[in-house]
Structure 1
């Protein structure tokens, strides 16, 4: 893949003149450029990052204390490869056997990397926390921007708001399963799982409310721990393997034999196993949402996206291979009363002490994963609230003056998450739906702006410093085709026909498309009267067509601005 990029000497490599930012000269795709914008009004010298953000229509309200490594750290922690693979083992191994974990992982990663690279290209040209939602609005055909942004934003937020609850539910279940291993008479009740999950979310919310600098350091530590835990788990599974002869499964069985656990043909079963990989690899958009807190965002953020998808894909595949070669009885993994397929798998090949050790590593990794998910979700909620997408948006669109982070958005998502966790009391099928919802919701949101880019904005798209060059269209087309195939597959139930009873049903289509239908209906019934796409919060100059004079105003028309005061950053740039 040939990727063009340019990295300036630093955030202050290019600065604008005091008093203005020439929007049409900045290498971004902005809602302002379609309005024949002249300078954005500023009251101080701005660096390259702040200048690009101003050209996109937003004030600098966060401190830029993330870099390439810390942005990558949040997204890599959000992948949480060890706990993600543990939580989704029922989909990968359970649908197509070991072939779904090995050969299936390679096939799925081709599509996933295409999506990641296309998203990175969008991020470089629109480095704002609004991310995919903003891109969909800018790149959509004339008149369709608000609807495209609305669908993308709600789908992305639905993914984000269900992410932490699903991660923490799996974490709490694993913790209580570990207790059951040591005390066979103990069986966790639903209210114990619920209370423990809520307690974990509260702790993570407190951490997520801290300053950007603290979060960058905390998630860097989380990434280091997750990486080390993944390597240790891989080594322990292979070196500590206590299976009777043969020590490992045959390669022909591991790679080529589809152990179809569904009632569908082998090809469909293999595609269904992709759900595990897609859910595991659905957090690499985090650097996009952290772009307003990242230095040299137009280059560092897209690099972090691609690094997360590629490195995560390789490491995750390696762990999948280790599991595929050491599992002894696939059916027993899912039929065990413990209710934790990964822990049950570990007992097939490791001693009790090593099972406890790997499970403990998975638990700690899952905590870092859930906390990273909460950070990404809060930035999405903040960005969309800033543009009035939610009722009482002004509350969530507030940046805390002490921490410099969107604390209100953090706790709003936490409250919603705790309410979603009440599905625990409706049974395993109901609570399990939030896992698959995260996968389909994220990739729908990922693909809408990519589709807009390759089908409607090929000639008008302004490439950022990181882009795909001549490969942009074929890679974008591949990503759209991949997601188009996988959306219905992710809604397929395990059984079909008369065997597809309510307890065997895949409720993803209801849990995802139900809320999305409500959101879209709300748009057409009422929201379209006030929601016009991204709302800029800076003052800028436009042509007054009556007398061809430049006047200070906000844009009108498709992207309706809000009434604002002249641009004053909450943190004036120190680079001159």
Structure 2
């Protein structure tokens, strides 16, 4: 990389050209000014500076530890247990077997396209930043606004929904051991809030401690998955109940359970809510890229690995359950209120069922921790660009831990408020799950859609890219989400059977806040929100270097350091 020194008065500046760096620079010509203060900038710092930000975190995440956080957020085992009602209840075992494979084609396309964007723009703003940079002229702030808020709604509901599911499994275990015990809403609320507080404390630790905890948690998740996938078929006692050890393949793959009032094809598509919600956490490496070394390669690899490894293990888990389930109706309507727990009781001894449920609970604990970390990084990135009220508080980095502690507790407080829905019954608390899949994939696909249909071949990819398959895969990803967003809003009942207790609340729970956010944009936000901001003072080529010190050479007064909003043209080579 060529260096060029320029002396102006007493100031000596060095410009490092990033023309050959695999980044989408916001500066004309790709130049990054670096003060010669004795600090040697790493490649990661130069890449981030080219995107318009200064490095504020210690880069103590590696490919493995980043993958671990992402895989912990994915939480295959607890996610599967929490969404079994949809995967099995809408289309039966057919939706769990070949239905999962079909869904993974679209999901893996989304993950691959997202990883390509991450390689070009490795910043914690993630999808929100990419939407702003890639949008057509004049549309960047609006694209960032929609993407950012949709992603944040998904992130901020992640930890409370996961922790609620974990608390429900803990209390269901108690009910299995003591059938006379019936958990109350108050007990469920307190247990869930307790988990939220524990995870908030853990997410406030220094980065290296978080990385170690999540490495251990993700390792446990992988081991637990393998144990459960082996243990279920090995321990099933269907034979003692007068059934074959496994259900016939023709029945497992060919029978579609009539779980909705729609045609079978629509029922299969509706069952995709299980895999979509389960696989909605692989964007975490994008948001952790500013804490990862070799970010423009390690972070996209972590995204792609999380989706592919998670999809493969998830399908194996679906298979073992599909081949061993005894009675789908009984599992869905059991008094335990937990379909996965009811399934375990009907096909294996109680002691083994409790052991598997215990493993799932521990995995759920680590998943909730990962969700809390990812959400805090998203909140920090958006607060850094003044998206929230009191953003100056939420964007502070703690001097002791070098992590966004304020953002962690901001999300935790909102999550605990959402958990008050527990007192409104299962229908009310279920609303926080509805946001997950829909909000996440809308945010995932918005920059992908813009990149495919508005930027095309003018996009400059990073070192991890899809080459000539980039546009076709992006088209598949966009089409998949465009199809699934309306499907996710379908109620399972129609006609006279459709009422308040059977309707799908996704439209209201997700659409209501997003409608308010749109109104906010047109009424007020469009006047002051200009998209991602840069917080490092840039020296433009041939410009007076006194600007970098915050001084206007034509004035005796002080002025704010000049900053530059990400220009959509900067994404083009």
TM-score (norm 1): 0.91
| Structure 2 counterpart of 1:229, from 203, 220, 224 | 224
| Partners of 1:312 and 1:414 in 2: CA distance | 27
Instruction: Report the counterpart of residue 417 of structure 2 in structure 1.
Output: 419
> Is 1:467 equivalent to 2:447 in the alignment?
no
Q: How does 1:157-196 map to 2 (within 5 A)?
A: 157-196=152-191
Match of 2:211 among 209, 216, 220: 216
1:75 is matched with: 70
Q: Tell me if the contact between 1:241 and 1:349 (Cα under 8 Å) persists in the aligned partners.
A: yes
Structure 1 unaligned spans of 5+: 1-12, 555-561, 567-576
> Is 2:3–2:14's contact at 8 Å kept on the other side of the alignment?
no
Could you tell me which residue of structure 2 aligns to residue 133 of structure 1?
A: 128
Flag the 1:106–1:366 CA change in 2: closer, same or farther, 3 A: same
Offset of 1:39 from its aligned partner? 3.4
Deviation at 1:20, TM superposition (A): 3.1
Task: Name which of 76, 95, 99 aligns with 1:104.
Answer: 99
The RMSD of aligned alpha carbons is 1.9
- Map residues 218-257 of structure 1 onto 2, 5 A cutoff: 218-244=213-239, 245-257=243-255
Counterpart of 2:430 in 1: which secondary structure? helix
Range with greater deviation from structure 2 (182-191 or 368-377): 182-191
1:148 equivalent in alignment to 2:143: yes
Match of 2:270 in 1: 272
Distance 1:343 1:117, change over 3 A: same
* Distance verdict in 2 for CA 1:542–1:258, change over 3 Å: same
Say whether the 8 Å CA contact 1:15–1:48 is kept in structure 2: no
8 Å Cα contact 1:378-1:410 kept in structure 2: yes
Deviations 1:152-178 (A, max 9, x none): 000000000000110000000110111
Cross-structure match for 1:58: 53
How far off its partner does 1:67 sit? 0.5
Shift of 1:235: 1.2
On the 8 A contact 1:27/1:464 being kept in 2, the answer is yes
Separation in structure 2 between the aligned mates of residue 419 and residue 37 of structure 1, nearest angstrom: 45
Contact 2:97–2:253, Cα closer than 8 Å, also in 1 = yes
Q: Hey, what's the Cα distance between the residues in 1 that align with 2:545 and 2:21?
A: 19
1:434 deviation in Å?
1.4
Give the TM-score taking structure 2 as reference length. Answer: 0.92
State the partner residue of 2:33: 40
Q: Offset of 1:497 from its aligned partner? A: 1.5
| 2: CA distance, partners of 1:543 / 1:288 | 30
More displaced stretch, 232-241 vs 87-96: 232-241
Contact kept in structure 2, 1:15 and 1:46, CA below 8 Å: no
**Shift of the alpha carbon at 1:551?**
7.0
Deviations 1:146-202 (A, max 9, x none): 000000000000000000110000000110111111111111111111111000000
Report matched runs for 1:307-456 at 5 Å: 307-456=305-454
Alignment of 1:555-570 (within 5 A): 563-564=560-561
Q: Is the 8 A contact 2:31 2:50 kept in 1?
A: no
1:252 CA drift (Å): 0.8
Between the aligned partners of 1:312 and 1:347, the Cα distance in structure 2 is 26
Deviations 1:252-311 (A, max 9, x none): 111121112111110110000000000000100000000000000000000000000000
Assess, with a 3 A threshold, how the Cα gap between structure 1 residues 93 and 381 changes in structure 2: closer, same or farther: same
In the alignment, what sits opposite 2:287?
A: 289
Contact 1:37–1:540 (8 Å) recurs in 2 = no
CA contact (8 A) 2:152 2:378 kept: yes
SS in 1 for 2:539: strand
2:531 to 530, 533, 543: 533
| Worse-matched range after superposition: 309-318 or 424-433 | 424-433
Corresponding position of 1:573? none
- Residue 248 of structure 2 contacts residue 323 of structure 2 at CA under 8 Å; is this kept in 1? yes
What does residue 8 of structure 1 align with? none
Q: Which moved more, 1:20-29 or 1:263-272?
A: 20-29
Conserved? CA contact 1:333–1:342, under 8 Å: yes
Structure 2 residue matching 1:40: 3-state secondary structure: strand
1:22 corresponds, among 11, 17, 20, to 17
TM-superposed CA distance for 1:22, in Å, is 3.1
Runs of 4+ that moved beyond 4 A: 13-18, 35-38, 548-551
TM-fit CA distance, 1:563: 3.6
- Give CA-to-partner distance per residue, 1:367-419, whole Å, 9 cap, x none: 00000011000000000000000000011101111001000000000000001
Residues 16 and 51, structure 1, Cα contact 8 Å, conserved in 2? no
Distance 1:454 1:15, change over 3 A: farther
Q: Tell me what 2:553 maps to.
A: none
> Aligned partners of 1:153, 1:78: CA distance in 2, in Å?
19
Contact 2:185 2:422 in 1 (8 A): yes
d(CA) in 2 for partners of 1:220 and 1:431? 31
Counterparts in 2 of 1:23 and 1:541: CA distance versus 1, 3 Å:
farther
The question of whether the paired residues in 1 share the 8 Å contact of 2:206 and 2:401 is answered with yes
Deviations 1:539-574 (A, max 9, x none): 112257xxx8777369xxxxxxx94499xxxxxxxx
CA displacement at 1:45 relative to structure 2: 2.3
The equivalent residue for 2:193 is 198
Report Cα offsets for 1:81-139 as digits up to 9, x if no partner.
11110000000000000001101100000000000000000000000000000000000
Tell me, yes or no, if the aligned pair for 2:32 and 2:49 is still in contact at 8 Å: no
The equivalent residue for 1:261 is 259
Structure 2: gaps (5+ residues): 6-12, 551-558, 564-573
Between stretches 428-437 and 280-289, larger displacement belongs to 428-437
Quote the Cα distance in structure 1 between the aligned partners of 2:49 and 2:14: 12
- Residue 9 of structure 1 corresponds to none
- The number of residues matched between the two structures is 543
Report if aligned partners of 1:15, 1:47 keep a CA contact under 8 Å in 2.
Answer: no
